[in-house]
Amino acid sequence: MGYDAEATRRRIFQAAADEFAAHGLAGARIERIAAAARANKQAIYLYFGNKEKLFGAVVGAKVDEVCETGALDPNDVAETVGQLFDWYQEHPELIRLLLWEALENGPGPVQGEPERRDAYRGHIRGWLEAGYAADAPDDRARVRAAQDWMFTLLGLIAWNFAVPQLCRLVLDEDDEKAALARRRAAVVETVRALAAAR
């Protein structure tokens, strides 16, 4: 049986996602990624260039995954917010990766920023094509309204997973699953009410 480069690449990618989610970019170790992936360090550098590029590739792919899995549908926003909430619950590594990226990168540009920005612009175009903010005074105001709305929706979802200790403390719930079920219902109802008011 010969060397399967694609399988090695996938193992490296998964091991890197786990390592970066746990330790961030600065704390991640190429040696641990290589060991977990059953690969050598040279393969990591060959496929991804360096640790920073690997981190950027992991974050970009996870963002792409969530964007492809559950786009926010302007015609059924409350239901799709619930589906996106479920996705985040099943994939807690994305929030951790985004938090590490923010902590370690500061206000500067992130790896793959132009492509990630373009993906979000595509979602905004979809909202505008669906007639969102049609009563805004001009196209720029419509775009800004759609951007603000999308960012608000993402925040309503993501905050539940970014600070699990606050979820537990504020909700005074010993059972994490029960707390998240309450939060999911509250987020969906909030979005439903906000969407109706718009």
pLDDT per position as a tens digit, 95-154: 999 999 999 988 889 888 998 899 889 989 999 998 988 899 999 999 999 999 999 999
Band of residue 65 on the pLDDT scale cut at 50, 70, 90? confident
Local structure of 134: helix, strand or coil: coil
Tell me, yes or no, whether 99 and 175 share the same domain.
Answer: yes
Phi and psi based region of residue 62 (left: phi greater than 0; alpha: psi -120 to 50; beta: remaining): alpha
The predicted pLDDT at position 82 comes to: 95
**Which amino acid, one-letter code, is at 128?**
L
Instruction: State yes or no: pLDDT of 1 exceeds 60.
Output: no
Residue in 182, 188, 189 with CA at minimum distance from that of residue 167 = 182
Over range 28-42, report the average pLDDT. Answer: 94
Tell me, yes or no, whether 180 and 104 share the same domain.
Answer: yes
Tell me, yes or no, whether 26 and 109 share the same domain.
Answer: no
- Report which DSSP code applies to 175: -
Per the model's pLDDT, the better-predicted residue between 39 and 106 turns out to be 39
Tell me, yes or no, whether 37 and 104 share the same domain.
Answer: no
Tell me, yes or no, whether 58 and 88 share the same domain.
Answer: yes
**Which amino acid, one-letter code, is at 22?**
A
Band of residue 78 on the pLDDT scale cut at 50, 70, 90? very high
Tell me, yes or no, whether 66 and 98 share the same domain.
Answer: yes
Per the model's pLDDT, the better-predicted residue between 37 and 171 turns out to be 37
The predicted pLDDT at position 5 comes to: 82
% of the chain at pLDDT higher than 70: 98
The predicted pLDDT at position 98 comes to: 94
Instruction: State yes or no: pLDDT of 73 exceeds 70.
Output: yes
Range of the domain at 41: 1-49
Interatomic CA distance for residues 34 and 198, integer angstroms: 50
Whether the CB-CB separation of 88 and 119 falls below 8 Å is answered with no
Q: Which CATH number goes with the domain that contains 95? A: 1.10.357.10
pLDDT tens profile 152-194: 999 999 999 998 888 888 988 888 888 899 999 999 999 999 9
Tell me, yes or no, whether 93 and 184 share the same domain.
Answer: yes
Number of domains in the chain: 2
The predicted pLDDT at position 146 comes to: 94
